[in-house]
């Protein structure tokens, strides 16, 4: 059989849709996954993010961790962010969007990512969609972890005692929950209308919640 004339076309699957490999730019062919972990403060996003990123070799991008490190090191970003973070308010959108842009632009394009704590406003979600378009990223899953407010407050108070986080005190926790419902929860509706949201009940052990997430990925 003459093989030279046969043009091999392999296919890649993304979100259940098959694409022919030679009809798209190469960087869209990632076999890794991209996740946005969404949910209220104290629900366990950070804990689950570390476990999922390790299991799937994802770049874990926690805007909260980046800001806390910048504050501890006294960098210009940290100096600007400090009062917002410590009062439980949100750091201005342009600063945080610029930060995530830098991280995603510098990322190895073959490696998937996990966003933890971003986006937190509609403006951030829209800017992120534009960035995904620019970078040719289309396969992104949104996972939302839920828990009742009482449980969230208890967990954050406990974390404050164990880790000494400046924003884990009762007054700031109350404010962070208000900020979440007012400014961040509309992001869930935005994604429900666009990409879809996979919801997981976070009221279980750390291991059980990881299993629940793994099942729906």
Q: Which residues are part of the catalytic machinery?
A: 45, 120, 159, 165, 176
CB 138 within 8 A of CB 109: no
Among the listed residues 84, 129, 160, 204, the single contact to ligand AMP using CB under 6 A? 84
Cα four-point dihedral sign 93, 176, 172, 71? negative
Looking up tokens 């210009």, which residue turns up? 76
Q: Does 155 bind ligand AMP (CB under 6 A)?
A: no
Under a CB-based contact definition with an 8 Å cutoff, are residues 103 and 168 in contact?
A: no
Q: Which of 53, 70, 90, 114 binds ligand AMP (CB under 6 A)?
A: 90
Indicate the residue among 118 and 191 with the shorter CB distance to ligand AMP: 118
Q: How far is the CB of 42 from ligand AMP (least distance, A)?
A: 8
Instruction: Dig out the tokens for 2 from the structure.
Output: 């003459």
For the CB of residue 54, give the shortest distance to ligand AMP in the complex, in Å.
Answer: 19
Q: Which of 39, 44, 88, 202 binds ligand AMP (CB under 6 A)?
A: 88
Subset of 159-198 contacting ligand AMP (CB under 6 A): 167, 176
Neighbours of 50 (CB within 10 A): 15
Round to whole Å and give the CA distance between 207 and 188.
25
Measured over the CA atoms of residue 129, residue 135, residue 140 and residue 146, the dihedral's sign is: negative
Applying CB under 6 A, does 41 fall inside the site for ligand AMP? yes
What is the binding site for ligand AMP (CB under 6 A)?
41, 63-64, 67, 84-85, 88-91, 96, 117-118, 120, 124, 167, 176
């Amino acid at each position: 059989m003459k093989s030279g004339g046969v043009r091999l076309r392999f296919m890649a699957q993304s979100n259940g849709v098959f694409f022919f490999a030679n009809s798209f730019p190469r960087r869209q062919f990632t076999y890794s996954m991209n996740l946005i972990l969404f949910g209220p403060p104290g629900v366990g996003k950070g804990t689950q993010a570390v476990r999922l990123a390790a299991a799937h070799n994802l770049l874990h991008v926690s805007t909260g961790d980046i800001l806390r490190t910048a504050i501890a090191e006294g960098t210009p970003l940290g100096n600007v962010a400090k009062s917002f973070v410590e009062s439980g308010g949100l750091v201005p959108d342009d600063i945080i969007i610029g930060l995530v842009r830098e991280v995603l632009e510098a990322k190895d394009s073959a490696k998937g990512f996990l966003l933890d704590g971003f986006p937190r406003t509609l403006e951030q979600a829209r800017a992120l969609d534009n960035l995904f378009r620019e970078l040719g990223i289309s396969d992104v899953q949104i996972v939302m972890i839920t828990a009742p407010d009482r449980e969230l407050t208890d967990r954050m108070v406990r974390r404050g005692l164990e880790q000494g986080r400046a924003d884990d005190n009762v007054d700031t926790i109350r404010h962070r929950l208000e900020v979440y419902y007012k400014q961040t929860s509309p992001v869930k509706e935005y994604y429900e209308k666009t990409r879809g949201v996979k919801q997981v009940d976070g009221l279980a052990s750390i291991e059980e919640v990881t299993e629940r997430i793994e099942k729906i990925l």
